Structure 1
């Protein structure tokens, strides 16, 4: 096993430095629309995720005071450091949005230059900026000048295989004051298919002197350790690999502390975590909305457990909080009886 090959080499994992922040364990929870809301961030914090990001927030929606957008910006009571991610296509709007975000006292403001969603790209936002490097640099420069907190950028390797821009663009972003860059090792046209190109993560890390955080195909703790070793990146961002699996962070931190990788969570632990998460979701968003938004999370928690498909189907039909709780508790009893 890879973790055994690294046993006893904990000291080789160096802290991640972003501005004034020294993050001892260089493992980061990715910003994910519809996933990393306040309830899930609280779960990740329970599992000692060292640095969290909000869902991405529209610059124009912020500037115009959209109520739903202000909810996305709510980071009150959360542990620091925490980063707020914004997206847009206009340097002036992005600067204004960053100023509004700074009033909420985030640790870091992150600029999204990687989202591949068609509705984002159509507005020349997200990964569309990879086709417009001049605009990308102007946006970063405007945001850096507008705020006092560190500014970071999350991007992809390029628009397509024939349009790789990461190493050059990362250097230009560094030159205008960006203090760290996260690189997803896929092009925009790959979306989430294929395999992330870690060699481009390595090339980009070597091209800049600020921290480069690698992202892409981190499903298990061992993947994060392997990325650090193979690419020389300063940190690792975990996205889809943390969905239904917040233990990926607590396992990595325990490995750093002891040199031994803890086992994955048991089925009972996963069901119990789903119940805790459900309670927080409903408390934050109300019963109707919370129950429905929790369905995807429950599916992720239960993935791979025996009999989970029937439970997921029942959860998707459950009308209220009590019904979902009953389904999960009954499932937990059946699992306990089978041990």
Structure 2
């Protein structure tokens, strides 16, 4: 069993990575239904929370069925991070996570996300401010370092553990790599094998199959893995990994009917959360992923992203089921 504060997770838990414009409640609900053990909100600007920005506040929405769930915040100002920690605590997630890993320029330029990797002293102060502002467990997600010449994850792990974080997720790339090149998990293994480190260490980067998850578990000794891009349009990956770990065999891939059901549920839950119009618009980006690789689906994909009402989409999904009834797995 893996423990984060008072949160008890199974041995080798599978975490859904926080992804901007992806990890919202409808998507998290799908991943939870298909085996994710711990999930996080999209990252939320500490400055946005303090300004009471509508978009930031809406990202605080969490639901009991997705627990345990963490809310992730980012920022480069100690006071703002401390205040946002208090705001987040009021909605009672299971933990607060700090994003010290986002490589996007608009975040880094504000001295937040992976930008903080250039200043470990500031990283420590920001983390202290968050811990001081909450009664909840605080965790961190970060990268190996700014670039290959400044990999500092060993120092980061020790110093953040020393000030009180209760788990660390490490994306095995530098900021300079963005999402390109191969993730180098040897640095994560070194952190995990450091006798000073006692908190759970989760690895992130390039886990896209059950085989790779088990291989990396055995090779690098991490306490669990965090999965991001591989879960987009394919929430089944969590239970596929669990099945493979238990049996050594691949679980059957989702059928076409399973994929239609996932897309329908995603739409339904999005409309319940944000209303019909916004729910329809925000689900559109996911359809390509759910129906990737299906021969002859192009026409229906176009109709899915242009149909504007719930009734029309319900009819379209019925038509899709009839049209592709002979498609089983692919």
Do these two structures clear the TM 0.5 threshold for a shared fold by scoring above it? Answer: yes
Unaligned runs of 5+ in 2: none
Q: Does 1:197 align with 2:172?
A: no
Residue correspondence of structure 1 range 208-287 to structure 2 within 5 A:
208-256=197-245, 260-287=249-276
Superposed displacement of residue 101, structure 1: 0.7
Q: Does 1:311 align with 2:300?
A: yes
Q: Does 1:177 align with 2:164?
A: yes
Higher mean C-alpha displacement, 298-307 vs 116-125: 298-307
- Equivalent position to 2:84, from 91, 94, 97: 97
Superposed displacement of residue 216, structure 1: 0.3
Unaligned runs of 5+ in 1: 1-14
Residue correspondence of structure 1 range 61-140 to structure 2 within 5 A:
61-140=48-127
Superposed displacement of residue 338, structure 1: 5.0
Match of 2:319 in 1: 330
Name the TM-score, length of structure 1 as normaliser.
0.91
Distance change >3 Å, CA 80–CA 195, structure 1 → 2: same
| Deviation readout 1:14-35 (Å, 9 max, x if unpaired) | x322112221151101111100
Residue-pair matches, total: 325
Secondary structure of residue in 2 paired with 1:214 = strand
CA RMSD of aligned residues (A): 1.7
CA distance in 1, matches of 2:307, 2:162: 53
- Equivalent position to 1:48, from 18, 35, 44: 35
Distance change >3 Å, CA 177–CA 266, structure 1 → 2: same
CA distance in 1, matches of 2:242, 2:209: 13
Is this contact kept in 1: 2:201–2:222, CA < 8 A?
Answer: yes
Superposed displacement of residue 49, structure 1: 1.3
Secondary structure of residue in 2 paired with 1:182 = strand
Name the TM-score, length of structure 2 as normaliser.
0.93
CA distance in 2, matches of 1:270, 1:338: 11
Higher mean C-alpha displacement, 163-172 vs 74-83: 74-83
Secondary structure of residue in 1 paired with 2:72 = strand
Match of 1:288 in 2: 277
Higher mean C-alpha displacement, 319-328 vs 192-201: 319-328
Match of 2:155 in 1: 168
Superposed displacement of residue 337, structure 1: 3.5
Higher mean C-alpha displacement, 16-25 vs 240-249: 16-25
Secondary structure of residue in 1 paired with 2:151 = coil
